[in-house]
Copies of this chain bind each other. A is one copy, B any other.
Amino acid sequence: MAGVTIRDVAKEAGVSIATVSYVLNNSRNVSEDTRRRVLETAKRLGYRANIIARNLQASETRLFGYSWRPSPPDRFNPILDRFLQAMAEAAAFHGYHVLTFPFPTIEDELATYAEMMLTGQVDGFVLSNTNLNDQRVRCLSDNGFPFVAFGRSNADWDFPWVDVDGRTGVRMATQHLIAQGHRRIACLAWPETSLSGQYRLSGYLEAMEAANLPVDPAWIERTENIHNDAYAASWRLLNQPADRRPSAIVALTDLMALGAINAAWDAGLKPGRDLAVTGFDDAPIARFLRPPLTSLRQPIAEVGERLITILVDIVQGKPLSEPHVLLQPELVVRASSVVSYEE
């Protein structure tokens, strides 16, 4: 399809293809005269090196694979856009590209990774949404195939990762609520199977303990990241007797925070005044909700960039200066958690 090859340039410039290659890659001394002639010819013919051929020769693809679970219609992925952009940009900077791939069903996930690894379709993977005993981590580690994860897994598995410190983040949010005078603070948490859910929850527990505030077990509601489940859980929280009813809710995602806010409205409470709520992710929509949602902003662009930098180092066999990166989220305070809030 492309048409003009290195052979054409060589013939036209009256040199061997090796010389053309040397000129174009600056990989060997070539006389100024020849160099100019080759460059001129290449430009005139509109020559561009064929990537596949180069890849075959170098036996690499300069491609990184990335896959993620699709969101159901009632859920959204607040970071996907910026995350992909950040990765793609960082990859391009190093001469790589990001290949997105799906897996038909969740059972095929591992097989899909294995297939792409074995056929040499990519040089490495970026994993996200890792969890405990993540099979992808195990499989890729076993095969010595390059990868890096957004998120941690088993503590005794040694692999490179970048993560956002959800524990510190949620602790900050909880401390913020405590500083606002709240004493009975509930948490909309995730099922115990979720590792990052555990990290985030522990941040809440730490803050409560550090402030010597008792935690009523009923204040910890575990649901999936689903609005309606969070709504129902919040409803239960708000229906407790007055002396045990929380005045603030720390939600582990913005979507769950929205469930809490909506439950408050429906309970005749004014969120932000009668019930403080905080979220996680700082989705673009958070600032436009009513009330605007206090949330923890993840440094997604940096996560993406760090992931790619690490992966490039791995692929190129460089030693990793920092195989584990824990980035801090930023607490963005808005009216959902502060009574007298001025935009």
Q: Does A129 contact B (CB under 8 A)?
A: no
Which residue on B lies nearest to A123, using beta carbons?
B1
- For A261, give the chain B residue with the smallest CB separation: B290
> For window 239-294 of chain A, which residues contact chain B by CB distance below 8 Å?
255, 258-259, 262, 265, 283-285, 287-288, 290
Partner of A56, one of B56, B92, B288: B56
Q: For the complex, what is the distance from the CA of A121 to the CA of B2, rounded to whole Å?
A: 10
Q: Given A70-B85, A81-B71, A92-B102, are A48 and B118 also a contact pair (CB < 8 Å)?
A: yes
Interchain CB contact under 8 A, A99 and B102: no
Closest to A72 in B: B284
With contacts A2-B118, A121-B51 known, is A84 near B97, CB below 8 A?
A: no
Cβ contacts under 8 Å, A98 to chain B: 99-101
Q: Which residue on B lies nearest to A301, using beta carbons?
A: B70
- Cβ of A49 < 8 Å from any Cβ of B? yes
Q: Contact between A290 and B290 (Cβ–Cβ < 8 Å)?
A: yes
How far does the Cβ of A281 sit from chain B's closest Cβ, in whole Å? 11
Given the interface contacts A46-B118, A82-B70, A121-B51, does A284 sit within 8 Å of B102 by beta carbon?
no
Bound CA span A98–B61, Å: 14
A157 within 8 A of B: no
- Given the known interface contacts A50-B120, A53-B56, the answer about A283 and B101 at a Cβ–Cβ threshold of 8 Å is no
Q: Which residues from B are CB-within-8-Å of A55? A: 52
